[in-house]
Amino acid sequence: MWDFSTDPEFQAKLDWADRFVREEIEPIDVLFPGNDEPYDRDSEVFREVVRPLQARVREQGLWAAHISPELGGMGMGQVRLALLNEILGRSQWAPMVFGTQAPDSGNAEILAHYGNEAQRREFLEPLLDGRIVSTYAMTEPTGGADPGSFTCRAVLDGDEWVIDGEKWFASNYPYAAFVIAMVITDPDVPVHRGSSMLLVPRGTPGMEMVRQTGLGGEPIGEGAHGYLRFTGCRVPRENLLGEPGTGFAIAQKRLGGGRLHHAMRSVGQCRRAMDMMIERIAGRETRGGPLSGQQAVRQSLADTWIRLEQFRLQVLHAAWQVDRSNASGDPADARVARLHVSAVKAATPGTLVDVLYRAMHLHGSLGVSNELPLAKMWQSGPVLGVADGPTEAHKDVVARLLLKDAEPASDRLFGSSHLPARIEAAREKFAGRLTGTGAAR
């Protein structure tokens, strides 16, 4: 059946999470606004503030909600995750406090499915417990959206893989305990059959950081992302995750969930920006009257609410499609889910840019200043336009899936909706029953 309600028990959990984020976590955002600070496990704020908050999240049964119960998580479906993540999206620190931060969430799933017992004990358990962070290294300086141009390779030499090449924008590497790297293990076949995933522990000889990279506005040489270089870097044969040649398939499965979760959290960011707009409109005066008296201002707010509601429902529907696909195991349902996830991914950056721009514009010079968070929030739109695959690639996926089973009309010249042909067909259908002059001529 169709139902837009949330069961009372889970709604109580969401209400608790909403209060907790606003009262306990958002103040951390104000004091520690850096992009890399949430990932520093040696920092005082993590030890003294974040760990106690994580314990409270565990008490509420909301820790690592995306992970299956046997691994210490809640195993929530995607619809429930969407409702929770749109609350966490208000805060930069909230995903870390709730154990759902990227890229650790996706890396944990890879280790859970493909890691051996020793790897799970050494890396997965502390990762799920929030004691360490990790890095996912896929993008390369010469190839971002096109993995077919990747050149970072690994060759099997006895019982070791030898890695040579470079990786770009490897998130959290300055603080990571390990790296999961996608490498080419068979350059003679297409990338979807010739790439593999390797686990590389921190400190492995031959893996070095050329430099740290940050987002726009951060000082050169600083940031939470790493430009990595592998030179004769050796890891044991058993550090291969999955079978040789399955790296691309693992990457797509891993990135699919991440794309949807980014969209979920973007709903929360946009809602926070809209709340700021409403507060500004309600309390500001201009030209001798309240700002709310300006029709253009009211229309801007209305456009913001409409766009956000459309996007939120699209995200929830995509989440429902993923849950449906997981429950049925039907490949046809999986294709539909992929269609919806790609469409959400394509819609996310534009929604963020649109909503955040209106919020900044409404606040005037204050909106673009460093005394409000709006300009930094706005930047997440362009970032998500390229993260986990550029918008254009996902639009192409949507179009290809829509065209997959499409068939041309029998009348290839004018198509099946050509009115003269349809009128003639309708006349034949109702011949003998309609004799009046009201029929189309």
As a whole number of angstroms, the distance between CA 29 and CA 96 comes to: 12
pLDDT tens column, 391-411: 999 999 999 999 999 999 999
User: To the nearest whole number, what is the mean pLDDT of the chain?
Assistant: 91
Give pLDDT, residue 41.
Answer: 85
Return the CATH number of 8-115, one of 3.10.20.740, 3.90.1150.10, 1.10.540.10, 3.40.50.2000.
1.10.540.10
Q: Does domain 248-403 have CATH number 1.10.3730.10?
A: no
- Least confident residue range of 79-83, 150-154, 256-260, 262-266: 256-260
Task: Flag whether the pTM goes above 0.95.
Answer: no
pLDDT tens column, 211-254: 999 888 888 888 889 999 999 999 999 999 999 999 988 888 77
Q: Span 149-164, mean pLDDT?
A: 95
Q: Count CB atoms within 10 A of the CB of residue 318.
A: 28
In the chain, where the domains are located: 8-115, 134-241, 248-403
Give pLDDT, residue 369.
Answer: 96
As a whole number of angstroms, the distance between CA 379 and CA 61 comes to: 32
As a whole number of angstroms, the distance between CA 167 and CA 140 comes to: 4
As a whole number of angstroms, the distance between CA 192 and CA 189 comes to: 8
Give pLDDT, residue 72.
Answer: 66
Please calculate the CA angle 47-134-382 and round it to the nearest 5 degrees: 100
* DSSP-H helix ranges across 123-175: 125-128
If one compares 403 and 438, the residue with the highest pLDDT of the two is 403
Q: Span 342-371, mean pLDDT?
A: 96
Q: Which tokens go with 153?
A: 């390779």
Return the SS3 of 170: strand
* Burial label, 205 (beta-carbon count in 10 A; 0-12, 13-18, 19+): exposed
Residue 437 has pLDDT above 60, yes or no: no
Contact residues for 6 (Cβ-Cβ < 8 A; gap 6+): 14, 83
Give pLDDT, residue 401.
Answer: 95
As a whole number of angstroms, the distance between CA 128 and CA 136 comes to: 16
Give pLDDT, residue 439.
Answer: 60
Closest of 88, 142, 393 to residue 255, by C-alpha: 393
pLDDT tens column, 304-317: 999 999 999 999 99
Q: State the pLDDT confidence band at 440, using cuts at 50, 70 and 90.
A: low
Give pLDDT, residue 1.
Answer: 63
Is 305 within 8 Å of 274 (Cβ atoms)?
yes
Residue 20 has pLDDT above 80, yes or no: yes
> Exposed e or buried b for every residue in 165-189, given b needs 16+ CB within 10 A?
bbbbbbbbbbbbbbbbbbbbbeeee
pLDDT above 70 covers what percent of the chain?
98
As a whole number of angstroms, the distance between CA 379 and CA 68 comes to: 33
Is 85 within 8 Å of 264 (Cβ atoms)?
yes
Put residue 432 in one of left, alpha, beta given phi > 0 → left and psi -120 to 50 → alpha. left
* DSSP-H helix ranges across 206-246: none
Residue 258 has pLDDT above 90, yes or no: no
- Rg of the chain over Cα atoms, rounded to whole angstroms, equals 25
Superfamily of structural domain 134-241:
Butyryl-CoA Dehydrogenase, subunit A, domain 2 (2.40.110.10)
Beta pairing class for 176-184 and 160-171: unpaired
Residue 267 has pLDDT above 60, yes or no: yes
- Least confident residue range of 49-53, 75-79, 323-327, 414-418: 75-79
Residue 36 has pLDDT above 80, yes or no: no
DSSP state of 219: P
Is 150 within 8 Å of 190 (Cβ atoms)?
no
As a whole number of angstroms, the distance between CA 54 and CA 63 comes to: 8
Residue 325 has pLDDT above 60, yes or no: yes
Give pLDDT, residue 53.
Answer: 96
